[in-house]
Amino acid sequence: MLKVHSRCDLSCDHCYVYQHADQTWRGRPVRMSAATAQSAARRIAEHAREHELPVVHVVLHGGEPLLLGAAGLRELLAELRAAITPWTRLDLRMQTNGVLLDEELCRLFVEYDVQVGVSFDGDRAANDRHRVFAHGGSSHDHVRRALALLRRPEFRASYAGILCTIDVRNDPDRVYEALLAESPPRVDLLLPHATWDHPPLRPGSEPTPYATWLGRLHRRWVDDGRPVSIRMFEALRPGGGGTEAFGLAPADVLVIEADGSWEQVDSLKTAYHGAADTGFDVFDNSVDEAARHPGVAIRQDGADGLCATCRACPVVDRCGGGLYAHRWRTGSGFDNPSVYCPDLLRLIDTVDAYPPPTPPAPADRSATSPVDELLDDLATGHGSASTLALLAATQLSITRALLAACRDRSGTTAAWELLVHLDRAAPEAVRAVLEHPFVRAGLVHRLDSSAPPGLSAAVDPLPAIATAAALRAGVPATLHVPVRADAITLPTLGSLVLPGLTESAEVTVRPGELQVRGGSVEQTVLLDPLAPPSASWRPTRDVAVPGGRVLLEDGDPYRDCYGQPVESRLEGPAARALGRTLAAAWEVVHRDVPAHAAALDGGLRAVVPLAPDPARPLRSATARHAFGAVAVTPHPDPETMAVLLVHEWQHAKLGAVLDLYDLVEPGESTRIRVPWRPDPRPPEGVLQGVYAHLAVTQVWQSRAATDPGDASAHAAHFLGWTRDGVDALLASRSLSAAGERFVGQLRHALEETVVGSR
């Protein structure tokens, strides 16, 4: 949060900046100087770069940020974009009272993609109870004029919503109607800042007037079909994700004051003079240093950072002790429940008393085509076993088609004829080889005329495929098989590494035996597991997992299709360690998300170890031409590995769907901003992202049932990403009709995920 101007043109009597305990504003410069803005932008960029953050949110705040004027704001926005966007996605926002908003400023905000939130407390009586000029005059018409500007089609993209501070003396129905009349994309309701030293106004004898007031507004909202997103109500639902004011997610806000001081979240100004101070500034201190301040660090601890009463509270995962500032009491500091505690408890009860939002109606299944049914099934987030079988079958068809295309490039027909014969005599053996994930990758490589010149581009993969099938079938055969880097690799079986082989070797297979002749080499390898091991034969290794067996694929030359360095053959202990982690991770997937486990069992056949990279210890990948395999860094923790497997398997499934259907309009060049990447993404990339994140959300939500701390925070984090991505995709108008249907159903699954986590 950047406090770009420390004075205001309104004089609201509920303002925590000027009217509450902290008065540090008096000693601050009126506006943030260019030098301070530059240092702030550099600090943010430095932090984003060092931590490889996918996104940074910067909120221009005050006082009143519009007092900076159009020229000052343009300079500041340009500085922020220039410094930060090379390193991360910059989500720019502003919170304003709206009084000075005009067309020129709106154009500027659209140009710099700034989302503008306006503070507005409702109908005239409600708004002007507090939000007035110093001379006492009303701000109501000024703010409504600003909201009308933001509603105009050309500026609507910059309209973020309304921030409304409630007052229980106002009529909740009239406030609700006044807010809705402004068609905001989102409404934030704020409890008036108060502490145990200065408790909130409670007129009359009612013990929980805030719960009553908000309960009334909640009921109107539910009865109306939740026509606008109201963050407080959504955040308080089970699995709702929380906000700065609710839930256990780590606090992620730091403030840069107009003089460059790092401060804690500014609502603390309501507690005592200097409550938000850290003693650090952007000139001498990094974000990390400011974030290590005890007041910030304790807010990373979830429930452990709360008082004993809150820790024992049955709704702590949703309330999270309320807003940090509202816990303040002289003597015990912040080690208290919220001063709104009884209201919050009752409000959560109220939210629970109403049925969850009805997810968008699923499509009428009776009217769907088989295509729709397949997409609908996958849009549940995982897909059934029969859908997985169908995807695997279509992938096999594609491989067979590529095989036939390669035959036309092959210099000889011997391998093809052997395959045709085996396909009749031992179809299971051929099928087992063709289903190996890297057979298709090899065929594509062979057919790709743009492949870089080199050995692999020249290698005909058919003889090795046919030889592997013959060996599996126990059918004697002899073929000339191309050699790559002194090795012949037989998919699914292993590699024969013989230095001195020429470009091609004569390979003869007999049941349990492999004989090779080429150049100066002549060797026979017994494949009987009881025979003494051969130094030149490197068999594939597999691991028993709940779904069957999965290959540790560290030998096939076409496993380099991930655009990332792959690990060379693992030594025995490393292979066994990875095998144990994979088996344990698979169990974890069965424990956390059985529906995803079934999809994993149904299709994942091989795991490729990626080469370690100290800068990025946690990497994983999927390749469109290698269905049935995922690549991962050999991370030792099964819980982490389980998330990687589920995440990547989503990409694999969606890749198989995209082989069949255009979910994005062909030729679409739109780029969409998403929270998990700094660069705008093509629609297909966003689609892949939301499909993977939906599954990861489901994993964390399952874990949150037993670990409301970190797991809840992760679940909320991925839920937010998925929601934002799905909404951005639907708004992009880049999807085909099938894509619209698929993503619409995903949205439905997402809402059910939230409801299901109750």
With CB under 6 A as the contact rule, which of the stretches 13-21, 80-88, 502-510, 620-628 interacts with ligand SF4? 13-21
> 2, 10, 374, 593: which one contacts ligand SF4 (CB under 6 A)?
10
Looking at the Cβ atoms of 8 and 41, the one nearer to ligand SF4 is 8
H/E stretch holding 542 reads: strand 541-545
> 17, 37, 251, 735: which one contacts ligand SF4 (CB under 6 A)?
17
Output the CA–CA distances (angstroms, integers) from residue 595 to 384, 388, 695, 726, in the order listed: 8, 12, 10, 21
User: Closest separation between CB of residue 64 and ligand SF4, Å?
Assistant: 5
What is the layout of strands, in order, in the sheet containing 504-510? 477-482, 504-510, 513-518, 521-526
Applying CB under 6 A, what is the total number of residues that bind ligand SF4? 26
User: Closest separation between CB of residue 117 and ligand SF4, Å?
Assistant: 11
Looking at the Cβ atoms of 299 and 723, the one nearer to ligand SF4 is 299
Tokens of 691: 């499909």
User: Closest separation between CB of residue 494 and ligand SF4, Å?
Assistant: 58
User: Closest separation between CB of residue 350 and ligand SF4, Å?
Assistant: 13
> 8, 83, 561, 593: which one contacts ligand SF4 (CB under 6 A)?
8
User: Closest separation between CB of residue 226 and ligand SF4, Å?
Assistant: 23
Q: Work out the angle at residue 518's Cα, subtended by the Cα atoms of residues 515 and 519, and round it to the nearest 5 degrees.
A: 145
User: Judged by CB under 6 A, does residue 12 bind ligand SF4?
Assistant: yes
User: Judged by CB under 6 A, does residue 15 bind ligand SF4?
Assistant: yes
Tokens of 417: 């004829």
User: Judged by CB under 6 A, does residue 64 bind ligand SF4?
Assistant: yes
Residues in 66-125 at the binding interface with ligand SF4, rule: CB under 6 A: 97, 119
User: Judged by CB under 6 A, does residue 315 bind ligand SF4?
Assistant: yes
Q: Which residue has the tokens 């974000």?
A: 287
Looking at the Cβ atoms of 167 and 592, the one nearer to ligand SF4 is 167
- How far apart are alpha carbons 596 and 675 in whole angstroms? 24
Looking at the Cβ atoms of 72 and 725, the one nearer to ligand SF4 is 72
Output the CA–CA distances (angstroms, integers) from residue 468 to 144, 201, 463, 499, in the order listed: 74, 80, 9, 21
User: Judged by CB under 6 A, does residue 745 bind ligand SF4?
Assistant: no
User: Judged by CB under 6 A, does residue 338 bind ligand SF4?
Assistant: yes
CB 398 within 8 A of CB 659: yes
With CB under 6 A as the contact rule, which of the stretches 76-84, 269-277, 334-342, 724-732 interacts with ligand SF4? 334-342
What is the DSSP secondary structure assignment for residue 100, as one 8-state letter? T
Using H for helix, E for strand and C for coil, what is the string for 624-664?
CCCCCEEEECCCCCHHHHHHHHHHHHHHHHHHHHHHHCCCE
Looking at the Cβ atoms of 17 and 654, the one nearer to ligand SF4 is 17
User: Closest separation between CB of residue 103 and ligand SF4, Å?
Assistant: 21
> 337, 494, 689, 744: which one contacts ligand SF4 (CB under 6 A)?
337
With CB under 6 A as the contact rule, which of the stretches 6-14, 84-92, 185-193, 710-718 interacts with ligand SF4? 6-14
User: Judged by CB under 6 A, does residue 321 bind ligand SF4?
Assistant: yes
CB 28 within 8 A of CB 36: no
How many C-beta atoms lie closer than 10 Å to residue 122's C-beta? Answer: 27
Looking at the Cβ atoms of 344 and 645, the one nearer to ligand SF4 is 344
Using H for helix, E for strand and C for coil, what is the string for 464-514?
HHHHHHHHHHCCCEEEEEECECCEEEECCCEEEECCCCCCEEEEEEECCEE
Tokens of 655: 């890749």
The radius of gyration computed from the CA coordinates of the chain, to the nearest angstrom, equals: 31
> 73, 345, 479, 516: which one contacts ligand SF4 (CB under 6 A)?
345
Nearest CA among 713, 677, 722 for reference residue 317: 713
- How far apart are alpha carbons 163 and 93 in whole angstroms? 13
Pairing mode, if any, of strands 513-518 and 504-510? antiparallel
User: Closest separation between CB of residue 337 and ligand SF4, Å?
Assistant: 4
User: Closest separation between CB of residue 667 and ligand SF4, Å?
Assistant: 47
**Binding residues for ligand SF4 (CB under 6 A):** 8, 10-12, 15, 17-18, 62-64, 97, 119, 131, 309-310, 313, 315-316, 319, 321-322, 337-338, 341, 344-345
